[in-house]
């Protein structure tokens, strides 16, 4: 994929400046562990409590460009709390979050967005009645003209949507069609492609496959791989170890708010991942599903 | 490799501008087998404003046939119902913008009365220059719209409740203040204000010909043009559709949801100030009950024109066609020699059947979207 994203240097510079501002130091300052420098985003035993409830405890993970980090866990495992910490909605109250090697606290979702962390929520990503291209550029519409004649650059918007989705292998029938006419997988792709186009360094995907059928899930996993190949760091939140194993480079398993396992891809086999995730009685069912 | 691929009409030529482009370049030039060609009539019919236009023609033919005075289709008659339609239409455009953004304003009807009364009181009781008073009315309208919008977005109460409250407060003030200041339920003498001649030209004049259209029709066309421009051609228009379609998704992508909604409440109030002023200048007096109940006309017009009650879809053109239908009905019934109160029955029937027609046409012509 040699097709260039417009103004990548501007976006990178902006992200760099925002990161520097957040860490409160100029470039080069600070004394983080050397390994943290190599990762764009690192969590070290991060925890969060709400009153007496321990929602998250001792979670460590690395996220980097061109890498997929999977967070696995059943309902109530603390996945949503983790997303909210990563996207700046909540602040961790133990452990440390590093951005580009520097300890960082996101004060708000805007802080996270400013350092290039984009979150794609499953149902809250697109507006069904609006056309694909209007959805794609929403909030950052290209404009032309000036003063009272400043207007949407419709041709540019349609071209951006068509080109960017094309890079994810989606051949857009008509950029003007309502996005509600796209399949669930394609809608996810629009949200991912949009985040990538607007300069995301890290894309957090919240259960992107949970509402989809087998074929559609496969498509979404392909989009994840494409994003990774384009140098994006991906955090894939899922409860499906099969999906995670297909694309993941690192796996973090959460249970009841605690991190129970952490593997790199080469350290773990699929059976192991499934077993750790499900355990005991459910294993047989899942093995059956796996065999199919 | 760029040669030989047939370009379909309208495909931007930039797609294959890079020499020896990567294999991943989307094959935009190839016609897509999944995209069934839609005949022109189908593509036109699925637009909700088109079924409103069809309904408008039906209503026109009906009242042209029912006409007993021969006025309905005469130049003077057409100018009359266009004038009535204009005062509904200016408001329907603004109300449809607000409804597309997902909110409703029940105080919009009473506001046309409040603004007219304020204008009348300032010029006749306090002796203000007309234009100074007009400026004050605009400030008042922006304030009310801002208040409605802020109350809705801060309290998160349904706009139905908040603006219903505003409507009743204003309704009481309209009567109470007017009675206290003038001793009557009517403010008159607007034509005696300083600056009135120019105001009369700007807000109350008519074409000097057989087709004696009022200047209100011109204002209406201006509002249609402006509303369509904003809705279809600006970022703000994109945001209006987005916040009405799904406020959470819009917020997630960085759209200023609150600002967009509050702006639309202000647009409705300012439109009410324009209509209130036009009415006041045309009639040179305003009654305390002016505009009461009209909020529903505006909502009917918007809905008949294809605006979704739940937000996220609609058009200013459609709302204007809805207003045209209501305007034709209001005067058509009089020309047919029936009692004018029958218009309410007609409005109800039109509302129901126009919406049914909208859905039926869309299903037939477009398939379920």
| B12/A166 touch (CB, cutoff 8 Å), yes or no | no
Q: Which of A126, A132, A139, A183 to mutate to test the interface with B (most CBs of B within 10 A)?
A: A139
Domain annotation covers residue B348: no
β-bridge partners, A198: none
Minimal-distance CA residue of chain B relative to A114: B254
The span from the CA of A11 to the CA of A145, in Å, is 23
Radius of gyration for chain A, computed over Cα atoms and rounded to the nearest angstrom: 20
Say if residue A215 is exposed, middle or buried (CB neighbours under 10 Å; 0-12, 13-18, 19+).
Answer: exposed
| B234/A151 touch (CB, cutoff 8 Å), yes or no | yes
Read off the DSSP letter of residue B36. P
| B249/A181 touch (CB, cutoff 8 Å), yes or no | no
CB contacts under 8 A, A 184-243 vs B, are 194
Six token digits for residue B233: 């051609």
The span from the CA of A69 to the CA of A264, in Å, is 9
Read off the DSSP letter of residue B317. H
**Complete DSSP assignment for A35-75:** HHHTSSEEEEEEEEEETTEEEEEEEEEEE-TT-EEEEEE-T
Question: For residue B306, which phi and psi values (nearest 5 degrees)?
Answer: 100, 5
Domain annotation covers residue B303: yes
The span from the CA of B17 to the CA of A148, in Å, is 33
pLDDT score at B295: 95
pLDDT digits (tens, 9 = 90+) for B225-245: 999 999 999 999 999 999 998
Minimal-distance CA residue of chain B relative to A156: B12
Sheet holding A117-120, edge to edge: A102-103, A94-99, A41-50, A53-63, A258-264, A250-255, A68-73, A233-238, A202-206, A117-120
Domain annotation covers residue B366: no
Minimal-distance CA residue of chain A relative to B15: A163
A129 close to B312: Cβ distance less than 8 angstroms: yes
| A152/B233 touch (CB, cutoff 8 Å), yes or no | yes
Domain annotation covers residue B363: no
Across the interface, of B229, B242, B248, the residue whose CB is closest to A138 is: B242
Min Cα–Cα distance to chain A from B246, Å: 6
Min Cα–Cα distance to chain A from B13, Å: 10
Q: Which of B236, B249, B313 to mutate to test the interface with A (most CBs of A within 10 A)?
A: B249
Helix, coil or strand: residue A263 = strand
The span from the CA of B112 to the CA of B282, in Å, is 14
Domain annotation covers residue B185: yes
Pairing of strands A202-206, A117-120: parallel
Q: Which of B27, B222, B235 to mutate to test the interface with A (most CBs of A within 10 A)?
A: B235
A&B contacts, CB < 8 Å: 96
Across the interface, of A124, A143, A163, the residue whose CB is closest to B252 is: A124
Domain annotation covers residue B364: no
Number of domains observed in the structure of chain B: 1
Question: In terms of Cα–Cα distance, which of B142, B117, B103, B63 is closest to B342?
Answer: B63
Instruction: Tell me how crowded residue B282 is: count the other CB atoms within 10 A of its CB.
Output: 18
| B241/A127 touch (CB, cutoff 8 Å), yes or no | yes
Read off the DSSP letter of residue A237. E
Read off the DSSP letter of residue B42. H
Read off the DSSP letter of residue A95. E
Across the interface, of B238, B245, B250, the residue whose CB is closest to A152 is: B238
Domain annotation covers residue B44: no
Quickly tell me which residue has 């392909």 as its tokens: A222
Q: What CATH number matches the domain at A8-125+204-291, 3.40.50.150, 3.40.710.10, 1.10.10.350, 3.40.50.300?
A: 3.40.50.300
Q: What does each of the 369 residues of chain B score in pLDDT, given as a tens digit?
A: 333 334 333 333 333 333 333 434 444 444 455 555 666 666 666 676 788 888 899 999 999 999 888 889 999 999 999 999 999 999 999 999 999 999 999 999 999 999 999 999 999 999 999 999 999 999 999 999 999 999 999 999 999 999 999 999 999 999 999 999 988 889 988 988 899 999 999 998 888 888 889 999 999 999 999 999 999 999 999 999 999 988 888 888 888 999 999 999 999 999 999 999 999 999 999 999 999 999 999 999 999 998 988 888 899 999 999 999 999 999 999 999 999 888 899 999 989 988 887 777 666 654 444
Min Cα–Cα distance to chain B from A278, Å: 33
Helix, coil or strand: residue B340 = coil
Question: In terms of Cα–Cα distance, which of B246, B367, B318, B46 is closest to A181?
Answer: B367
The span from the CA of A244 to the CA of A270, in Å, is 9
Its domain, for residue B299, covers 68-343
| A152/B234 touch (CB, cutoff 8 Å), yes or no | yes
pLDDT digits (tens, 9 = 90+) for A50-101: 888 888 888 888 888 889 999 988 877 888 889 888 888 888 888 899 988 8
The span from the CA of A80 to the CA of B256, in Å, is 25
Minimal-distance CA residue of chain A relative to B27: A171
Question: Which residues in chain B have their CB less than 8 angstroms from residue A124's CB?
Answer: 246, 248-249, 252
| A3/B246 touch (CB, cutoff 8 Å), yes or no | no
A146 alpha-carbon distance from chain centroid: 35
State the virtual CA torsion across B295, B296, B298, B301 in degrees, nearest 10. Answer: 180
Question: Which residues in chain B have their CB less than 8 angstroms from residue A130's CB?
Answer: 238, 241-242, 245, 312
Residues 6+ apart with CB under 8 A from A6: none
Question: Which residues in chain A have their CB less than 8 angstroms from residue B20's CB?
Answer: none
The span from the CA of A279 to the CA of B359, in Å, is 52
CB contacts under 8 A, A 75-134 vs B, are 113, 119, 121, 124-130, 134
CATH of residue B86's domain is 1.10.3470
Interface pTM (ipTM) of the complex?
Answer: 0.76
Min Cα–Cα distance to chain B from A6, Å: 14
Residue A171 touches partner B, C-beta closer than 8 Å: yes
What percentage of chain A has pLDDT greater than the value 70?
83
| A130/B241 touch (CB, cutoff 8 Å), yes or no | yes
Handedness of CA A276, A277, A281, A284 (dihedral sign): negative
**Complete DSSP assignment for A104-171:** ---SSHHHHHHTTEEEE-SSSS--TTSBHHHHHHTTS--EES-GGG-EE-HHHHHHHHHHHHHHTT--
Helices (H), chain B: 40-45, 48-66, 75-100, 108-124, 130-155, 159-182, 196-203, 215-233, 235-245, 247-252, 257-283, 294-304, 316-335, 342-366
A113 close to A80: Cβ distance less than 8 angstroms: no
Min Cα–Cα distance to chain A from B344, Å: 33
Handedness of CA B323, B324, B326, B331 (dihedral sign): positive
């Amino acid at each position: 994929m040699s097709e260039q994203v417009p103004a990548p240097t501007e976006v990178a510079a902006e992200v760099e400046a925002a990161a520097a501002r957040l860490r409160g130091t100029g470039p080069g300052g600070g004394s983080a562990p050397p390994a943290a420098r190599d990762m764009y985003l690192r969590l070290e035993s991060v925890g969060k409590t709400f009153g007496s409830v321990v929602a998250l405890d001792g979670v460590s993970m690395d996220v980097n460009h061109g890498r997929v980090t999977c967070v696995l866990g059943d309902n109530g495992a603390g996945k949503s709390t983790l997303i909210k910490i990563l996207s700046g909605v909540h602040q961790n109250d133990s452990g440390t979050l590093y951005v580009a090697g520097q300890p960082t606290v996101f004060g708000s979702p805007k802080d996270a967005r400013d350092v290039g962390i984009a979150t794609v929520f499953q149902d809250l990503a697109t507006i069904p009645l609006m056309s694909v291209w209007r959805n794609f550029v929403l909030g950052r519409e290209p404009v032309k003209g000036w003063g009272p004649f400043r207007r949407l650059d419709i041709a540019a918007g349609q071209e951006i949507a068509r080109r960017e989705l094309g890079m994810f292998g989606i051949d857009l029938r008509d950029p003007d069609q309502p996005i509600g006419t796209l399949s669930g997988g394609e809608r996810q792709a629009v949200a991912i492609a949009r985040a990538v186009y607007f300069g995301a360094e890290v894309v957090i995907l919240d259960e992107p496959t949970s509402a989809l059928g087998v074929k559609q899930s496969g498509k979404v996993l392909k989009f994840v791989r494409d994003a990774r190949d384009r140098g994006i760091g991906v955090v894939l939140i899922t409860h499906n170890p099969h999906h995670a194993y297909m694309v993941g480079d690192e796996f973090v398993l959460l249970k009841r708010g605690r991190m129970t396992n952490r593997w790199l891809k080469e350290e773990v086999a699929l059976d192991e991942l499934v077993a750790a995730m499900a355990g005991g009685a459910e294993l047989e069912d899942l093995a059956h599903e796996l065999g199919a | 490799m760029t040669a030989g691929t047939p370009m379909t009409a309208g495909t931007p030529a930039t797609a294959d501008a890079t020499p020896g482009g990567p294999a991943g370049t989307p094959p935009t030039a190839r016609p897509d087998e999944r995209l069934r060609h839609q005949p022109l009539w189908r593509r036109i019919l699925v637009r909700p404003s088109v079924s409103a236009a069809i309904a408008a023609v039906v209503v026109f033919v009906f009242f042209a046939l029912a006409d007993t005075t021969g006025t309905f289709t005469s130049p003077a008659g057409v100018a009359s119902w266009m004038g009535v339609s204009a005062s509904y239409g200016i408001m329907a455009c603004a109300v449809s913008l607000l409804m597309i953004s997902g909110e409703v304003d029940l105080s919009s009807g009473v506001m046309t009365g409040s603004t007219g009364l304020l204008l009348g009181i300032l010029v006749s009781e306090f002796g203000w220059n007309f234009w100074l008073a007009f400026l004050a009315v605009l400030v008042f309208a922006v304030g009310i719209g801002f208040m409605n919008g802020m109350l809705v977005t801060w309290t998160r109460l349904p706009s139905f409740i908040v603006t219903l409250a505003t409507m009743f407060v204003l309704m009481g003030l309209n009567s109470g203040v007017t009675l206290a200041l003038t001793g009557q339920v009517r403010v008159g003498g607007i034509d005696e204000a300083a600056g009135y001649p120019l105001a009369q030209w700007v807000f109350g004049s008519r074409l000097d010909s057989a087709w004696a259209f009022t200047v209100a029709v011109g204002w209406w066309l201006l509002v249609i043009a402006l509303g369509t421009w904003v809705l279809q051609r600006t970022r703000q228009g994109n945001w209006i559709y987005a916040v009405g379609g799904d406020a959470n998704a819009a917020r997630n992508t960085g759209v200023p949801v609150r600002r967009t909604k509050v702006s639309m409440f202000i647009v409705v109030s300012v439109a009410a100030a324009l209509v209130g002023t036009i009415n006041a200048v045309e009639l040179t007096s305003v009654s305390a009950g002016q505009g009461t109940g009209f909020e529903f006309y505006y909502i009917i017009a918007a809905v008949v024109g294809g605006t979704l009650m739940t937000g996220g879809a609609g058009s200013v053109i459609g709302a204007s066609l809805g207003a045209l239908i209501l305007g034709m009905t209001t005067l058509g019934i009089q020309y047919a020699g029936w009692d004018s109160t029958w218009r309410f029955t007609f409005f109800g029937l039109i509302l129901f059947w126009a919406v049914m027609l909208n859905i039926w046409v869309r299903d037939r012509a477009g398939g379920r979207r």
